[in-house]
Amino acid sequence: MFKKLLLFASVVLMIAMISCKGDDGAVGPAGPAGAQGPAGPAGPAGQDGEDGTGGGGALIISTGEIETDSTGGYLAVIENLTPAQDSALSSSAILVYVKSGNAYWSIPGLVLFTGNKFSSFSFAHGIQESAFFVDLFTTNWSEDQDDAPKRTFQDLRIVIIPGEVVEAGRLSAETLKDYNKTITALGLTDAPVKLASKLKLNLKRQSHIQRAK
């Protein structure tokens, strides 16, 4: 009987020791970090952004080497304009430079050629039948003859400057006389040059050819 009571008391004591809750112990130190898991899959590529435009949208057009016609002039054009291009060109400033003797000459103005010859040129521009044109014409020449002589240019450059750029006052009259200074001021290079073809449309050419007195 005594042994049974002793066994019962031992069981009760063990239950009491297990059920009693003591104070929490201090938190142990953190274990070492685990190895980094594998990278997740790459997300989808974003949409391409729009190309930027240098010079505030200014554009250089080149004809390459050309020869004036029997009137001493030349007609260059951009054909098949969209309505947006038509509107933009109508409000743009147009500058013209011709290359002779490895130098660009501002038009209107005098241009020197080999053999101490010269011609003075001016130009008109406009839009007709969805075509933008620049009509270069002779106003004076060095030869003693009634008809304007033919001339060969190494290049003819037309610089189209949006109206808002001109209104911003970024270009002085002195700068505009120099092709290289002009494109530098506009932040342009020869890279964005667009070639213009000789006019094929049946546009009426104005009669400008009158030798200055």
Q: Is the pTM of this model over 0.85?
A: no
pLDDT classification of 20: cutoffs 50, 70, 90: very low
Sort residue 79 into left (φ over 0), alpha (ψ -120 to 50) or beta. beta
Torsion angle, alpha carbons of 195, 201, 203, 206, to 10: 40
Residue with more model confidence, 198 or 75: 75
Lowest mean pLDDT among 2-16, 23-37, 149-163: 2-16
Q: Can you tell me whether residue 176 is helix, strand or coil? A: helix
For 87, the enclosing helix (H) or strand (E) is helix 83-90
Distance (Å, whole) CA 85 – CA 24: 81
DSSP type of residue 115: G
pLDDT classification of 171: cutoffs 50, 70, 90: confident
Which among 181, 190, 175, 162 is positioned nearest to 58, based on CA atoms?
Answer: 162
